[in-house]
């Protein structure tokens, strides 16, 4: 199946839209959330469980898989999907954010990034061409260009340099692409400067990517500024191509970004919070370690139909966490991923019925955002 994206409905009161993303290994209704499987695994749960919840697209990371076990090994096993027994589609991040987060171990220049492995200290030169080759070897559905990510706050000079380098690397990636099947997305940078975001978006759209991502957010900036930058960026991205907001995943952030025309999301928040006993529910945050749940016979969320909420009490889940039992991590992760899947289903339904702004108001009034 070749890559395609079709907008199926536009909300009448906002820039929100539903769509159908067709990929070689799956069809995905958008807006959609991608569980994060950095190392070829969504932590604490089997790929079969992710599929049963309803997900058809997950995210992995080229940088980490390049270091271990190695893209050549994965290619020899038939690609990442076969290696991890995942029948659905996969998007791979290029490694730009990981290189950014390991700032003390890397040196950046126009050729690429020289970095020391966080695993064994070995030195590597990661170029746009190598990032592309790694992702092609992994056999995934969507490939991301290597980009230059800057911390917040960034001076306008630094942000401008990052925009220029990101565009140059994107052009080199386009020139080096060998395989037809994987879709290729460019990543808009520009820090917190709307004019640089426009410059980056207009430059990347001239390269005719299959889709476009908004990168460099959720790096410490205030919430209001993040929303402002999303609002200033999406109008310069093509209407007929998918828009992906990288690494932003609080439920209210997803809703506010959807209203501004974003189609795809990823974040470690649901899985990481689950491993730390924080569960998302229809009435707000729940920390299952709290003593109030010691003898609570009820489910984590009476509005949820996941395996945890159907079969186990809050008291039992608290017991598992207090005893450091692995089952507790698994059940909590299944629950949080189920919550996110239902959230995206609710958002798509609201868009089709032209009431997504009402959903945002309702959701804001009945939920407490997790500060993470």
Query: Catalytic one among 11, 141, 253, 266?
Result: 266
User: Residue 142's closest CA among 89, 188, 64?
Assistant: 89
> Is 263 considered catalytic here?
no
Name the nearest CA neighbour of 166 among 214, 220, 226, 98: 214
Maximum Cα–Cα distance across the chain: 62
Rg (CA), the chain: 20
CA–CA gap between residue 239 and residue 232 (Å, rounded): 15
Instruction: Compute φ and ψ for 25, nearest 5 degrees.
Output: -110, 0
At residue 136, what are phi and psi to the nearest 5 degrees? -65, -40
Three-state helix/strand/coil letters over the chain? CCCEEEEEEECCCCCCEEEEEEECCEEEEECEEECECCCCCCCCCCHHHHHHHCCCEEEEEHHHHHHCCCHHHHHHCCCHHHHHCCCCEEEEECCHHHHHHCHHHEEECCCCEEEECCCCCCEEEECHHHHHHHHHHHCCCEEECCCCCCCCCCCHHHHHHHHHHHHHHHHHHHHHCCCCCCEEEEEECCCCCHHHHHHHHHHHHCCCCCEEEECCCCCCCCHHHHHHHHHHHHHHCCCCCCEEECCCCCHHHHHHHHHCCCCEEECCHHHHHHHCCEEEECCEEEECCCHHHCCCCCCCCCCCCCHHHHHCCHHHHHHHHHCCCHHHHHHHHHHHHHHHHHHHHHHHHHHHCCCHHHHHHHHHHHCCCCCC
Measure Cα distances from 212 to 4, 23, 105, 151, 192 in Å: 13, 16, 28, 21, 18
| Catalytic one of 11, 93, 147, 301 | 93
Q: Is 93 a catalytic residue?
A: yes
Active site residues: 93, 266
């Amino acid at each position: 199946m070749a890559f395609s994206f079709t907008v199926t409905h536009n909300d009448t009161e906002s820039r929100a839209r539903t769509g159908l993303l067709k990929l070689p290994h799956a069809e995905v209704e958008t807006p959609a959330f991608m569980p994060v499987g950095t190392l070829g695994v969504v932590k604490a749960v089997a790929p079969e469980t992710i599929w049963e919840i309803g997900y058809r697209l997950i995210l992995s990371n080229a940088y980490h898989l390049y270091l271990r076990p190695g893209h050549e090994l994965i290619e020899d096993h038939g690609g990442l999907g076969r290696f991890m027994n995942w029948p659905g589609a996969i998007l791979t991040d290029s490694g730009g954010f990981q290189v950014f987060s390991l700032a003390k171990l890397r040196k950046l220049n126009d050729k690429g990034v020289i970095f020391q492995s966080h695993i064994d200290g070995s030195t590597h030169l990661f170029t746009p061409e190598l990032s592309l080759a790694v992702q092609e070897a992994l056999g995934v559905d969507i490939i991301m260009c290597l980009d230059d990510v800057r911390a917040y706050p960034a001076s306008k000079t630094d942000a401008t340099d990052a925009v220029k380098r990101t565009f140059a690397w994107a052009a080199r990636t386009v020139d080096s692409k060998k395989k037809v099947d994987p879709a290729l997305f460019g990543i808009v940078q520009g820090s917190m400067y709307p004019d640089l975001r426009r410059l980056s978006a207009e430059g990347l759209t001239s390269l005719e990517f299959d889709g476009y991502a908004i990168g460099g957010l959720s790096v410490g900036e205030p919430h209001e500024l993040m929303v402002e930058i999303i609002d200033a960026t999406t109008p310069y991205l093509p209407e007929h191509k998918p828009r992906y907001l990288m690494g932003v995943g609080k439920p209210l952030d997803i809703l506010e970004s959807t209203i501004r025309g974003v189609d795809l999301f990823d974040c470690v928040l649901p899985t990481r919070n689950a491993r730390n006993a924080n569960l998302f529910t229809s009435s707000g945050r729940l920390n299952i370690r709290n003593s109030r749940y010691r003898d609570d016979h009820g489910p984590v969320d009476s509005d949820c139909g996941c395996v945890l909420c159907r079969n186990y009490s809050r008291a039992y889940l608290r017991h598992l966490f207090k005893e450091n039992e692995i089952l507790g991590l698994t059940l909590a992760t299944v629950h949080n991923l189920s919550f996110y899947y239902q959230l995206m289903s609710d958002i798509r339904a609201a868009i089709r019925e032209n009431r997504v702004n009402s959903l945002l108001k309702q959701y804001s009034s009945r939920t407490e955002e997790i500060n993470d």
